[in-house]
Structure 1
């Protein structure tokens, strides 16, 4: 190799890159089928690159520069590479260049387009035409030396992601040692791009294994195409599709003879003398033998493997690649010849996104916005439904999804995807490969696709009736064969003996060829994707319901408590008529009146799965109905149930991260989004409830010396439903800037980011708050919010990247969270978080990054390596402790981790308590790994056990209800709520509840009845009259406040409601008055009289609470008129309450920091404020709103220089502000640490 020539050619490439605007390696990687390491190596000048690389590099530079195809001068670049190499391909005779060029042209024509016709639904007018392979191909990754074991995809993913599987989830025959081999394979062999492996592997022979649909043949074709496009300067590609060798007519002579026969038949091979002469002369070639598994005779397959290995030995200048399915692959021949074995991996999220982007850009033509919409819809379906996400990793199934995604609304129509995917896979079967008897071959010939699907549904039913049920997803071999044989006997009249033989062949075919069943070993089979089992089970039940063999509601009554059945029941709801689906929703919503006390049988499922299962399943079933507009009553009942759950979270002080709260966001929010488009009245119902009631709900958290608040996820739950509602958006924008409860701002932030993704106004607002808010936690959250609302590209990417380098640790912390959670699928996310964990200058940011790594990348060896480096060498003992703690939790089975942690035990800088704990943890660590720690048994809530019987007795008459409520005071609330859920149709129940609310002396019971009747019977006049009676009566202030909010929520269209609120602004109780003022200002912001009234309360009322409520109402109305601005300025300087002066300064800073008058006012307050608190608040505001102003920093340093004695409060505030926003001054940082230590002491 002429090294000088290589350097000169690399210099030319570097010059082209510079002329093209010097795109980064990251940008080049986006437009090239090569990894960054390969790009860097080829630009280093150590060796000459291939033509495939040069062409891709020139095209990528052209894309960066915006040049046309003609301006790329590819022919000149090819000639330059030819001259640099100074060689010509070895030729056995004078005709070789002509023969080679003709052959390569035929290859380019044959493999230039993807073969997709067989995947499209029959009769689809939009069946894909000729799609260029290079436009949609996304190179998958591979791992070396895969363990020989099959498991369902869901179990593999759980094992790799979490490192733990429960014993009950394992099929028979799978033990801890097997699982450990899988886990070690994933962690010990990092995934690499397949094309890099083929190019870089030092051995000249390798085997690519993969499941059906994993992309083996596509990789082979793409590689062949790229080499053929390189022309006579590239490596000669030879692709042999071995399924031809399985045909006896082709099975004469050697593989080289077969290649010659292919040349004679279709021009896709080369004459043997030409190819053999070229290889003997040392010509470079890549010989790809695709589909070794297509040779079904095991003896013949071994002979072919021997011959392939022999070719590799005879022609060392040829790289030999073999592809095969995993099932049936025997590696002994290739191991003997030192072939390296790799396993194709499922596509990860970035690769899926790249494929969908390319696919829909081609499908949508000149409509890029439509392409992005289709791509984002399918990606959202993957995020929402685990089964869709699991299937999407398989390229074949992802392509089917992409085809159907143009006309189907995923995930709601995912059953169509499952049906089509199973049909496509079943259509490929040919059990005759496994039969020796010609009679048996003829006997299965009549099984068409519908027969095969019917058979699969029968297998699914047998599996659901097995002891493990749907949760197990496994069936013993003899049971499976018996079921198939029974189908053949009953449906096709085969006699028992022949039915058994054909059943064995069909079972083998499904497992080895169709990617439907897996063999787990020990005579056990199961569906390879759980989604297939769930779909087929649902389809079978739907068939039996149609024929009258199954009672639909009985199926739901029996199965809904079991989490393993949830997805099946949801799919089933979409397969029946809308009227039947409506009955299902009605049944489920009332199936468990005591849902809020937990499940009847906590042994079903995990604790995290408990909480309103019947309601969540009902919502998902409703979302599955195609014509949801035909079910207005069920839609209304579903929204009422959602509001009731949000009220429950606040009333019962349920932790905001609880299963109930999470399922509202994950399940209820998508359902509301969909039905809102069909039912405008439902939108206004939820919006009015949120504005008048939902945003006021609080969950107090009380400690010995603090009180804090959480909130139910009311804004997030309604974000999609109210995406286009201007009033809702205005209030959310106000709350994210001016909200006074951090948890409320977080909920609103999530609602804005997820409900209005990509909205420029939202993104600008979030960035503004992140840069100027005085509260560090708010700034951190807003950075993450930007990543929630935007794709990892363009201005959003650049801004979050800038936050990583900002002086403010809260912004850096937020950026780490952005990459670690919102953008974790991006290929640069993990390296970015690793760098932050290792190199950030602030220990708190490093610790935060450590936590992100431990949560999101437990399966990635790069994360483990970073944590080991931190535990070994971080300068801060507390950070080393964090890293060691995470390592012991997730990486304890890796020998290098155990060795490192043993050194940590002996580190004197680590506190003794942690070393002691670590020593105890290490005692039990073995390399066998955590397979399945049994979960502790949970018992039902005692009230649940007691009240099940009480509720049954209480549902009859008023007298029985009164006895039930009087029996045990601690049960009253539960009984009232259960009656409203289970027996809302009883005409006597609502009047009885209203009377009970008016007469009971239990204020909490009254309040519960108020929100219960408001959410259960929102349109009934009885509940409205009850609210008015409570407001007029002698009830506690908090009870009257609840009645006021609920009345306003249901009566914004009633002129009498604002009039009543006006009267209540004159009430004696400040709580009642302040709430009435805020409801008026928020609920009727366009009424000038109401706005003037609210402003007058803000200016002149004698109660601080009332003035603050009025100020919030004015700010949330998002009417930054001059009067409101002037009011804030007066309050900041002259209000009698120091808290109001602080609030006014903070709100001015967040809302009007661009106004020069605001800066002048805040500076004056910092210098001349009435009290030390006033001056300290102004200092904090200056550091937030005007951090980029050099004069501000100089002023704060001046306050520090004046000394503590001159103004202690301001001095401390200035030190804190400088240390937080400009933390590079070590003297200031030291003073801040001293202050913090003194205050802690």
Structure 2
């Protein structure tokens, strides 16, 4: 019997036995060639695993196109016919017969078409499917090699089960790239051997990482009859439950959510698991843990009336507020044929007190019941009247996506863009109008009105972005952008307009003029900085660019603008003779410490070979009035001039004589910085110990005295050990 365990949520599980039976090996031979004995059995399992993976990937591709679980069933007969096709079997089996292996997506697509099977959605991606299948099939083939070696323990490269556990699972369980290999190995082994592997994994020292438990669960999931290894199964389940329930592990949320998924997937036929998941959902554990439990219950309970009723009760019970949206979405996913559910969700969408429940309800109604006459009315009401902005946004999105042909949809979007009290709703409405109604004349007018008149900064910016994206050829768009760039009362709008102009209208002479005016005259430093950067990016070759940069370095009243200008000069105009002089002047004379430091750093980075650079840096490290500048320049000197012959003397002088007083709140003592550099680069210097002793005894800074004491003890201990 081929060991293909049912995959929870696998829509094509019913056709799998027929495609993977080992009673007629012809299809296996077509895939992997003819083999004898144990190797044939292993290949039979490997080929079956490959088919199962292929079917599941087809399902994922179909679901990605928006098809529901109900829609998938129509493809089952076509898939059976498709996989029985000899060319398809050979293609899927290339992983076992070709080196290097490859899968031809074009051949798969053309074969599907030539067999006149059920039409696939236009978005179905054969290339992506083939790429993922190839990786999964490689794992299966790799696993098969281990299993074949396990069957030949006496051969040169044979494996015992102990070696498989220690050398394969024990050395690689932490790496996710190996997990597909582990699953395939487990599928090819007898249950007793898998049980031993599970026991081994459970007792590993995982050092706070529970990946070993997840690997063990994956292996158990490949066993056709877990009752054969029931003891191992129960031990693993207990450990996964403990991982989920421990409140002290709150910081490991993703790991605990993964544990819930593993439990629900592997033990979904255990009646106790549903009760356990309900208890988790109703507990005081972290919100994400409880919501994950509800999600899994919804998957498991689709054929269980008791669980469905429990989910309905949860969806309407205000005492479990955070899990209610999960219950709503789960019910809609798995109970779409339930008329009572539609009525319940309609009530929730209209009147529930919790906005996340209302949002979930309208989204699920729109997704699952789009043909219901009342659906559009619910969405229209929510889009216009719901108290919460997020619900209104969700309703607008659903209307725009599913009811774009309804005349009232356009009217609601226009009204929301113009008059909704919330800026985020107005932005969302503008985006939907620009995306779906770009040919409507009113859309352009709404965007212009919002760009010019909306009281909110973000709305004006969003309107400008939409205008530039969809109406870039209209002269009035350029006029609007120019007006916003020069005169909008909010500096963020001016920056946005300037960036849009620089990106899309760089050939317009007036764009450069606007940037120049903003650089010289805008009252907000952020606008001047953004304009400088746009100027350098788009007009690097323009002779006025370097002039404007030099002017800002010398004359701008804001230190942050001066820094940006000098950094751009140092990066882009390295060879200009005046750049070096400007940096030298800024490093020594600028009134702001951050500008002096930035200039010194640029000198150290780009002009290391200029003799004067080190002199300027030493002056800054010695005489700058700011202690942070002095200690930062010391670090630059140590990094760039560590080979200087007199560096010890200079750093020793700084460790002894820097004027740091200790009263500068939060500042780092440059004397300690100098001492740290000396310890790093001159620990063996004959004067090092005497310097540390001096600082331990005489430095005015208590923290530095303690630092020197500790370093002295360590250095003396090392010397003692060396002598000993």
- TM-score of the pair, normalised by structure 2: 0.51
Alignment partner for residue 1100 of structure 1, among 564, 589, 598?
Answer: 589
Instruction: Describe how 1:497-896 pairs up with structure 2 within 5 A.
Output: 507-510=84-87, 512-515=89-92, 532-533=104-105, 537=109, 565=125, 853=174, 868-870=203-205, 880=207, 882-883=208-209
Aligned to 1:947: 430
Q: Structure 1 pair 322/883, CA: closer, same or farther in 2 (3 Å)?
A: closer
Alignment partner for residue 1209 of structure 1, among 696, 703, 712?
Answer: 703
Deviation at 1:1098, TM superposition (A): 1.1
Do residues 291 (structure 1) and 35 (structure 2) align? yes
Instruction: Describe how 1:983-994 pairs up with structure 2 within 5 A.
Output: 983-994=471-482
Contact map agreement 2:696 2:708 (CA 8 A) in 1: no
d(CA) in 2 for partners of 1:913, 1:465: 37
Deviation at 1:897, TM superposition (A): 10
Alignment partner for residue 464 of structure 2, among 948, 972, 976?
Answer: 976
SS in 2 for 1:988: helix
Do residues 1129 (structure 1) and 618 (structure 2) align? yes
d(CA) in 1 for partners of 2:507, 2:70: 42
Deviation at 1:1125, TM superposition (A): 2.3
Do residues 1166 (structure 1) and 655 (structure 2) align? yes
Do residues 479 (structure 1) and 78 (structure 2) align? yes
How many matched pairs? 474
d(CA) in 2 for partners of 1:213, 1:1160: 80
User: How big is each residue's C-alpha offset from its partner over 1:356-410, in whole Å with a ceiling of 9 and x where there is no partner?
Assistant: xxxxxxxxxxxxxxxxxxxxxxxxxxxxxxxxxx99xxxxxxxxxxxxxxxxxxx
d(CA) in 1 for partners of 2:657, 2:589: 24
Contact map agreement 2:461 2:496 (CA 8 A) in 1: yes
Aligned to 1:963: 449
Q: Structure 1 pair 540/889, CA: closer, same or farther in 2 (3 Å)?
A: closer
Do residues 1114 (structure 1) and 588 (structure 2) align? no
Which structure dedicates a bigger proportion of its chain to helix?
A: 2
d(CA) in 2 for partners of 1:898, 1:475: 38
Deviation at 1:1000, TM superposition (A): 0.8
Contact map agreement 1:905 1:916 (CA 8 A) in 2: no
d(CA) in 2 for partners of 1:1213, 1:213: 75
Deviation at 1:1043, TM superposition (A): 0.6
Contact map agreement 2:30 2:90 (CA 8 A) in 1: no
Aligned to 2:575: 1086
d(CA) in 2 for partners of 1:212, 1:473: 29
Contact map agreement 1:1041 1:1072 (CA 8 A) in 2: yes
Do residues 1077 (structure 1) and 566 (structure 2) align? yes
Q: Structure 1 pair 950/480, CA: closer, same or farther in 2 (3 Å)?
A: closer
d(CA) in 2 for partners of 1:994, 1:864: 71
Contact map agreement 1:891 1:897 (CA 8 A) in 2: no
Aligned to 2:535: 1047
d(CA) in 2 for partners of 1:1131, 1:986: 55
SS in 2 for 1:870: coil
Deviation at 1:903, TM superposition (A): 8.7
Contact map agreement 1:1204 1:1212 (CA 8 A) in 2: no
Do residues 929 (structure 1) and 266 (structure 2) align? yes
Q: Which runs of 5+ in 2 are unaligned?
A: 96-100, 114-119, 132-165, 183-196, 221-230, 269-294, 300-325, 330-359, 364-393, 398-423, 663-668, 719-724
d(CA) in 1 for partners of 2:89, 2:102: 17
Deviation at 1:1038, TM superposition (A): 0.7
Contact map agreement 2:27 2:84 (CA 8 A) in 1: no
Contact map agreement 1:1138 1:1174 (CA 8 A) in 2: yes
Which structure dedicates a bigger proportion of its chain to strand?
A: 1
Do residues 1175 (structure 1) and 661 (structure 2) align? no
Q: Which runs of 5+ in 1 are unaligned?
A: 1-145, 152-164, 182-207, 218-289, 293-304, 306-320, 330-341, 347-389, 392-458, 482-503, 519-528, 542-554, 572-829, 836-849, 872-879, 1226-1241
SS in 2 for 1:1001: coil
Contact map agreement 1:1163 1:1178 (CA 8 A) in 2: yes
Alignment partner for residue 1007 of structure 1, among 479, 495, 502?
Answer: 495
- TM-score of the pair, normalised by structure 1: 0.31
Alignment partner for residue 1027 of structure 1, among 504, 515, 535?
Answer: 515
Contact map agreement 2:525 2:560 (CA 8 A) in 1: yes
Contact map agreement 1:1165 1:1175 (CA 8 A) in 2: yes
Deviation at 1:1041, TM superposition (A): 1.0
SS in 2 for 1:883: coil
d(CA) in 1 for partners of 2:705, 2:261: 52
Contact map agreement 2:460 2:493 (CA 8 A) in 1: yes
Q: Structure 1 pair 148/855, CA: closer, same or farther in 2 (3 Å)?
A: closer
User: How big is each residue's C-alpha offset from its partner over 1:418-438, in whole Å with a ceiling of 9 and x where there is no partner?
Assistant: xxxxxxxxxxxxxxxxxxxxx
User: How big is each residue's C-alpha offset from its partner over 1:51-73, in whole Å with a ceiling of 9 and x where there is no partner?
Assistant: xxxxxxxxxxxxxxxxxxxxxxx
d(CA) in 2 for partners of 1:465, 1:905: 32
d(CA) in 1 for partners of 2:526, 2:466: 23
d(CA) in 1 for partners of 2:561, 2:66: 59
SS in 1 for 2:266: coil
Q: Structure 1 pair 974/322, CA: closer, same or farther in 2 (3 Å)?
A: same
Do residues 1147 (structure 1) and 610 (structure 2) align? no
Q: Structure 1 pair 974/535, CA: closer, same or farther in 2 (3 Å)?
A: farther
Contact map agreement 1:1081 1:1090 (CA 8 A) in 2: yes
Moved more, 968-977 or 1140-1149: 968-977
Aligned to 2:681: 1186
Aligned to 1:823: none
Deviation at 1:1072, TM superposition (A): 2.3
Deviation at 1:1141, TM superposition (A): 0.8
Deviation at 1:480, TM superposition (A): 5.3
Deviation at 1:1008, TM superposition (A): 1.2
Instruction: Describe how 1:34-73 pairs up with structure 2 within 5 A.
Output: none
d(CA) in 1 for partners of 2:217, 2:49: 25
d(CA) in 1 for partners of 2:175, 2:687: 38
Contact map agreement 2:604 2:640 (CA 8 A) in 1: no
Aligned to 2:484: 996
d(CA) in 2 for partners of 1:1159, 1:1211: 20
